[in-house]
Structure 1
Amino acid sequence: MEPAEYLAALRKHWLVVAVLAVLGFGAAYAWSQTLPPSYRTTSSVYVTVPQTTSVGELVQGSTYAQASIESYAQLATKPYVLDPVIDRLDLDTDARSLARSVTATSPLNSKILEISAVAGDPDKAASIANAVSAQLATAVEDLEGEGADGAPNVEITVVAQAAPPSYAFSPNTKLNAATGLAAGLVLGVVLALARTVLDTRVRSLRDVRRVTGTAVLSTVRFDRKRRKAPLAMVDDPFGDRAEAYRKLRTNLRFLTVAGPSRSMVVTSSLPTEGKSTAAINLAIAMAEGGARVVLVDADLRRPSVARYLGLEGSVGLTTTLIGEARFEDVVQPWGDGTLHVLPAGQVPPNPSELLDSPAMADLLRDLGERYDVVILDSAPLLPVTDAAVLSRMTDGALVVVGCRRVHRAQLQDALTSLAAVEARVLGLLLNQVSSKDSGAAVTYGSTPQSTARAWPAMRRPARRAAASHAAPPRPVAPPTAAAAGPSARRLPDEGEMPTVAVPIVTLGQRVAAGASAPVPEAGPVRLFIGPPPPPAPAPAADVPGPVTATTAPDEPDEASRRGPTSAPTPAASPEASAADEPPSDALGPLLGPLSDTRLRDPQAGATTSS
């Protein structure tokens, strides 16, 4: 593993590391709280040899005292010293137990002996240390004897009395808690790395690269919210999962360099990797592209295509293979008719023999002549040999790799089984990839919600245009203050607000120009800031006409700008106009966004729609 992979493993299992660290910290802290407090105090004694009359004797006495001080340190923890201490302090213990709480040490090349005592009470610890020091001095004088003048040969003098400590030295809660935290972190890191190293399941594209160099044609993300809706092309056609199947469709079309890919087997290494849903979604994506597609449920052991698509599955492939029906009689259309489905039919007792029969080869040949793409949903590769048999009869196999379900060794065995029969592997489809391993879903364009709002707005102009041309024209009341200019409409504004006048070409001029005649171009959009221009004289009340808006007062009108035109076309009757007008779907591109322009006369207050 590379260092980046170790970091990725720690990032992936950070929660385990954090939980173990917190548990270690909490366990150490709780254990520290259960321990009784212990107090320690120390007294110091000085060892001398008093019988010295010269410098030589003084040196010899000092050397003797340093040599004997280790023996005195051991003597301090013996029953010869501790039994009198127990009797004096009336302690409820014995010499052996008291020896575990008393220690005597001497610094290097020193005649000072330090005696420490540990107890649960600070005063008791000080009393024990002082009592041991005094009793040790008495024991040494008794053991070393007296000189000729009656003075002891060795004297032990207490130079520092033990004082009751102000705080307990044990337990050290901070140190224990920090130790528990460090131990938890180490354990979590070891566990995270062990899980990563020992886990051989395929989780990402990196794991696939360790097994094979076969191209991964697409990657489908696992969506927990839509796990009960496996047909992404139907349930979420604008989502990233549907786009993944469209990407798979595109990549399969570009595989014609290495050979044709019109018929393919969709299989996997193990069950529950999503091969059936992948085959269905791929078939829908192919049909969405305009190809004639047939989806054959060739999984004669656990068929599921008919159940997913809501079709009748009692007759199908097995009925055709045993000669009881032709495939034209049992194939079922789905959707808009570009996708046909051949269900599996009844589950036979000999699936492998049926799929490896000449009847299956003839059926595939007939389907190839009738349809552009033939997709077969087959059984997994490792449990049975059905997919390997069918791969020899088709242009190749598309292997679905289910993340967190198949191990690397199992994927390798599945690809080896296809290579053993010299079957062509078209590519791999990495299915159910978690967001942690694949990254955030990248989308572009409309989401399902925004598209649902956008579709009615996009279709509304066409419906209005169709309605306006299906019915005879309705007379419009003459405006009281129409603006000058035959081809300018003024948007609604009030008072001193800025106004926008949009010169347009009327529908009558476009229709009169004909399909082949050049259509006059609409003038540019003019922006007016300030009060609206004065109204022009209104037309005769008995002559209905289109409502027009103002043009710029400093610009020539539309007729003068375009130059001389032909004579005006005489008005036709409503019946003739309705008969000669083109269909609404042909007028939609001509009208464009202007077909939904709402006009208001600023003086009369009338509102019309074209």
Structure 2
Amino acid sequence: MNHLVRVLRRRWQLLALVVLASIAGAAAAAWLQTPTYQTAAVLVSTTGTAVDGTSATQNAAQRALDVSRFAGTAPVIEQVVTQAAGASGLTARAPAGVSTTADGVSPFLTITVSDSDPQWAQAVANAYLPTLPDALEDIDPGIAGSAEQLTSLTAAPLPGAPATPDRSLYLSMGLLLDLVLGFGLVVLWESLDRDFHDPEDMARALNLPVLGVIPQRDPKQVLPMRTAPSSSRAEAYRAVQASLAFARAEGPPRSIVVTSPSSGEGVTTVAANVALALASSGHRVLLVDVNLRAPSVHDLFELPPGPGLAEVLAGRITPSAALRDLPDTSLRVLTAGASNAHQLEMLTGPRTPQVLVELQADCDVLILDTPPVLQVADALFLAAHSAGILLVARVGVATKDRLRRARDAVRTVQAPKLGLAVNGGSESPEGLGPRRLPASHRSFDSAARTAPVTGDDKPVRESVPGSS
């Protein structure tokens, strides 16, 4: 139900457009039709006397039925029209419709006339009684005799409102059909839309909680934790940091792989700002740029690109010698360095887990800024040697297909999925914080999330908080 409400809120313009357009069409159809007025004269056949064992009432009913069979024929209508024109002074013409009704049980004969002119409909209906005997004489003298025994029970009144079209019915049926059509179009449009527009829909597709929603008010402000610590974007990064910090009793996971389904979703800015947020809360944090193909951490912090991780993997420098301290914070940075094809291959080699263990020993939280998970296997390899994966997705960039493929990819490694950070979301204060899925949808394994980086192929569970 909540999902349906979000879809309707997102597509309300389409639903409103369909409903308004259809109602306008129904109203136009109703008002463009020529209104038709309807009136009826009720005649009654006199009972007379019983004949051949048949009651007088039965005889009268039969006479009314006999007359009704001929009263609506063209010759009779023609003479009735002539009589009506003479009596009313209106122009003689055939009415829009004439119907005669008798049930053969009661002695009543109902003459119903419809026309676009209410006065003409009334004149024709009331002209039947004096015209029927003469008009039926040429058709069947016996029936004409029955017509002579008809008297007026109720004269046809002047209709005040048109019988058709029923404009209220048009509008109500139009509204009902419009809602059905509108809902159908909304569901169809939503199913064909490949993009995500709501963080909760992303979380549901990935089966992960949303740890924070980062508004995209000023794209040039890439490090709000340093340049605008009181901004809504900085608060959003603190929400991600708080979600990680309180995810377990021992504090945040010891090592976090930050990745995304595809490029352009803001992995580096999320990794850098979350690292700054963790550092500001008192943790010793180490941010490593593992994206050797397109490094950018050094640009964010205005650091030289090397020596960095590439030189460490090549054995030309020790990890501790490559670290750079940032002033006024407990955050240190290991840039990517100058890589080549050989270092790219070494990234997924046996040397990398050893380097990660050395780096982990020198900090409380190790954050790895990695390439997109759908483009290269680096993030998946590193996730197997980490305590969890933080996925980043940008509204307007992440598609349903990419997110589902990313979900399937991270499921192949035995590493906890910490949650989702959404870029480009709502700027309202209530929209920045974490959003938990129902218990059946939560994927953060409370036991597995304590796994630190080790030199083995798989993460192991910590027995003592803070140990490595």
Q: Which residue of 2 aligns with 1:176?
A: 170
Superposed displacement of residue 312, structure 1: 5.1
Superposed displacement of residue 427, structure 1: 1.1
Tell me the C-alpha RMSD between the 2 structures: 4.6
Match of 1:104 among 87, 100, 105: 100
Distance 2:54 2:428 in 1: 80
Q: Residues 172-191 of structure 1: CA distance to partner in whole angstroms, max 9, x if unpaired?
A: 44443344444444555566
Q: Which residue of 1 aligns with 2:76?
A: 81
Q: Which residue of 2 aligns with 1:236?
A: 228
1:352–1:385: 8 Å Cα contact kept in structure 2? no
Q: Which residue of 1 aligns with 2:392?
A: 400
Distance 1:432 1:22 in 2: 35
Report 1:58-73 matches (<5 A): 59-60=54-55, 62-67=57-62, 69-70=64-65, 72-73=67-68
Match of 1:29 among 27, 44, 47: 27
2:98–2:114: 8 Å Cα contact kept in structure 1? yes
Structure 1 144/365 Cα, relative in aligned 2: closer, same or farther at 3 Å? same
SS of residue in 1 equivalent to 2:345: helix
TM-score, normalized by length of structure 2? 0.70
Q: Which residue of 2 aligns with 1:600?
A: none
Counterpart code for 1:275: V
Counterpart code for 1:111: P
Q: Residues 26-59 of structure 1: CA distance to partner in whole angstroms, max 9, x if unpaired?
A: 443343332223222222333457xx6x544594
CA radius of gyration, larger in: 1
SS of residue in 1 equivalent to 2:221: coil
SS of residue in 1 equivalent to 2:217: helix
Q: Which residue of 1 aligns with 2:159?
A: 165
Q: Residues 151-192 of structure 1: CA distance to partner in whole angstroms, max 9, x if unpaired?
A: 935535351544543443334444433444444445555666
Superposed displacement of residue 356, structure 1: 0.6
Report 1:447-466 matches (<5 A): none
Match of 2:381 among 378, 384, 389: 389
Check if 1:116 corresponds to 2:112: yes
Where do 5+ consecutive residues of structure 1 fail to align? 443-610
Pick 1 or 2: higher relative contact order, CA cutoff 8 A, min separation 6: 2
Distance 1:92 1:301 in 2: 90
Superposed displacement of residue 66, structure 1: 2.4
Distance 1:441 1:5 in 2: 19
2:372–2:379: 8 Å Cα contact kept in structure 1? yes
Superposed displacement of residue 23, structure 1: 4.5
SS of residue in 2 equivalent to 1:152: helix
Distance 1:373 1:18 in 2: 50
Q: Which residue of 2 aligns with 1:418?
A: 410
Match of 1:355 among 341, 347, 352: 347
Q: Which residue of 2 aligns with 1:39?
A: 37
Structure 1 130/244 Cα, relative in aligned 2: closer, same or farther at 3 Å? same
Superposed displacement of residue 278, structure 1: 1.4
Match of 1:375 among 367, 371, 376: 367
**How many equivalent pairs are there?**
425
Distance 2:311 2:335 in 1: 10
Q: Which residue of 2 aligns with 1:152?
A: 145
Report 1:209-358 matches (<5 A): 212=207, 216=209, 219-223=211-215, 225-226=217-218, 229-239=221-231, 241-250=233-242, 252=244, 261-311=253-303, 313=305, 316-318=308-310, 321=313, 334=326, 336=328, 338-344=330-336, 353-358=345-350
Distance 2:132 2:305 in 1: 101
Superposed displacement of residue 428, structure 1: 0.9
Superposed displacement of residue 267, structure 1: 1.4
Q: Which residue of 2 aligns with 1:431?
A: 422
2:313–2:343: 8 Å Cα contact kept in structure 1? no
Q: Which residue of 2 aligns with 1:470?
A: none
TM-score, normalized by length of structure 1? 0.56
Counterpart code for 1:155: E
2:63–2:146: 8 Å Cα contact kept in structure 1? no
Structure 1 115/426 Cα, relative in aligned 2: closer, same or farther at 3 Å? closer
Counterpart code for 2:145: P
Counterpart code for 2:141: G
Q: Residues 296-316 of structure 1: CA distance to partner in whole angstroms, max 9, x if unpaired?
A: 222344544345445555875
Counterpart code for 1:428: G
Structure 1 435/248 Cα, relative in aligned 2: closer, same or farther at 3 Å? closer
Distance 1:228 1:31 in 2: 54
Distance 1:6 1:439 in 2: 20
1:274–1:402: 8 Å Cα contact kept in structure 2? yes
Deviates more, 1:266-275 or 1:402-411: 402-411
Distance 2:137 2:306 in 1: 111
Q: Residues 525-559 of structure 1: CA distance to partner in whole angstroms, max 9, x if unpaired?
A: xxxxxxxxxxxxxxxxxxxxxxxxxxxxxxxxxxx
1:220–1:241: 8 Å Cα contact kept in structure 2? no
Counterpart code for 1:364: L
Q: Residues 175-227 of structure 1: CA distance to partner in whole angstroms, max 9, x if unpaired?
A: 43344444444555566677789989584558746864x6x4x6323435345
Counterpart code for 2:35: P
